[in-house]
Chains A and B, each alone.
Chain A
Amino acid sequence: MPSLKDLKNRIASVKATQKITKAMKMVAAAKLRRAQEAAEAARPYAERMNKVLAGLSAANAGNAEAPRLLAGTGRDQVHLLVVATGERGLAGGFNSSIIRLAREHALKLLAEGKTVKILTVGRKGNDVLRRSFRENIIDYVTFREVKQLGFAQADEVAHKVLALFNAGEFDVATLFYARFQSVISQVATASQIIPAKFEVSEAADASAALYEYEPGEQEILEDLLPKNVAVQIFRAILENNASFYGAQMSAMDNATRNAGEMINKLTLSYNRQRQAQITKELIEIISGAEAL
């Protein structure tokens, strides 16, 4: 049975924790709004890019000279997994759900006899994946020092991916991140970035044929495909960022509530014990007086 003093200390410590989680929740909520705005601001560009490329790639389908970023290397042996996670924890299942998806994917590919290479973006993913896939991780990017996530960071990752691709280091690249659905729901997602895949709509097909291209169609395609990789990564990073704060907000909300419950329970048993002690002392005094 903990003493009165112990209980008092515990209540104080839980209260301090609750203060911290409450503050973290509010910070996350403020940052979430900013991250969400950034993710939304980036959407028009990505959508346009996708539309244009869908048209161009449809026109180039079956073309033997299509750029390799679009057509692939013709092989399916070496896979690159780009795993984007958060820099920090304390966000519920955010990091672990992305990592779990990536790990399952990696194990499946390994079981099929494929070679797996992993590039981690974000500290958390690197820490966890290093335990089970130490020799598969080829590179690691962190944005720990970066205050405001911008396109420059995505470009840096894209440069690495493209350099590896041009050096023939892998055939297929898949990007793992958490898609932001709402504050309470973030979905870990895998999307293939190389060779590029587009959702081709009927309208894009029809309009593509009418375009005049300056310089040539091929040149534009060759110029745009690497940019598309950067844009995809940028979008993933922004979605991830928004998801992270969403997850952190709900995790901290839960933590605050749990701390509240715990304080209630501890206060109850503290009061009971205090009462018991008073009763005990009274009995001692009364029985002492009676004995006289």
Chain B
Amino acid sequence: MADAFNFELVSPERLLVSEKATEVVIPATLGEMTVLANHAPTMTTVKPGIVTVKLASGQTNQYVVFGGFADILPTGCTLLAEAAVPMSEINRETLQKRIEATQADVNAATSHEHKTKLEEYLAQLTDLHGAILPA
């Protein structure tokens, strides 16, 4: 039995999860990373993707997050997501709406830098869309 640590998933609107977990997979910007207990203190940005949480009780939960960042300490891990929904509640329409909104933002962006950033975000979203909702 692996050591457990505190995992918190927070969105600006509410605290989604605050439980003991043994293993959390985070879609970090530089690639997926798995957090176990006693992880070195790390701060990383998170891209849109799926967070997999293995709880100390053995249950595995999945959440879809839309960007944010994670604060990892040896004793715990806090994921601050811009928006987060349990995997079971996600559906095609909400995701599609988000993609369309980002697309509109891309078209409206004036500065080059901003546009690149948004396009990257859009690509990540489309990736996610393909990954969780195979057509």
Contacts and interface: CB of A to CB of B under 8 A. Distances in A.
Contact of A48 (B40, B45, B78, B83): B78
Interface of B: 8, 10-15, 28-30, 40-45, 69, 71, 78, 80, 82-83, 111
B10 A44 contact: yes
A202 interface: no
Interface of A: 38, 41-42, 44-46, 48-49, 52, 150-151, 154, 166, 207, 210-215, 219-220, 223-224, 227, 230-231, 234
State the main secondary structure of chain A at its contact with B: helix
Contact of A211 (B14, B41, B45, B83): B41
B87 to A, nearest CB: 20
Contacts of B28: 214
B29 A214 contact: yes
Given A48-B78, A166-B111, A214-B30, A151 B43 contact: no
A213 B15 contact: no
A42 B41 contact: no
A41 B80 contact: no
The 6 A-B residue pairs with the shortest CB-CB distance in the complex, in nearest-first order: A214-B44, A41-B14, A151-B12, A212-B42, A45-B10, A211-B41
B83 A151 contact: yes
A210 B83 CA distance: 28
A230 B68 CA distance: 13
Contacts of A48: 10, 71, 78, 80
A49 B80 contact: yes
Contacts of A154: 12
A213 B43 contact: yes
